[in-house]
Amino acid sequence: MTAYKDKDFGERLSTAAAARKATLERFRAKPGPDDPAVAERRAARQALVVAREARVAEREAARKAEKAHEAAREEEAARQAAEQTDRDAALEAERKAARDARYAARKARR
């Protein structure tokens, strides 16, 4: 096992200065906003945003179309139910008229 070595103050200062210098160099090495690679990445991100917005708009349009289709189906079902109710009422009136005619014929026979 190696023994722990105490660093003196000057050595710690130089290590900290070297670390600051390395950090500064890494920061300076980064490409600027006018760099072609940065512009290319920005354009790619913008293309992704535009594509995402198009997909969202497409889904929203499909949702609205489905809602309109569902409303049309419900309206058609309501119309058919109303027609069925009218047919049932007409049939019931016809049956009542036939029954009343039978009763009237029976009374007329007496």
pLDDT digits (tens, 9 = 90+) for 55-69: 999 999 999 999 999
The pLDDT score that the predictor gives to residue 8 is: 86
The pLDDT score that the predictor gives to residue 38 is: 87
pLDDT digits (tens, 9 = 90+) for 49-102: 999 999 999 999 999 999 999 999 999 999 999 999 999 999 999 999 999 999
Residue 38 neighbours by CB distance under 10 Å: 13
pLDDT digits (tens, 9 = 90+) for 7-35: 788 888 899 999 999 999 988 887 777 88
- 104, two tokens: 């009237």
The pLDDT score that the predictor gives to residue 6 is: 66
Render the chain in DSSP notation, one character per residue.
-PPP-PPPHHHHHHHHHHHHHHHHHHHHHS--TTSHHHHHHHHHHHHHHHHHHHHHHHHHHHHHHHHHHHHHHHHHHHHHHHHHHHHHHHHHHHHHHHHHHHHHHHHHH-
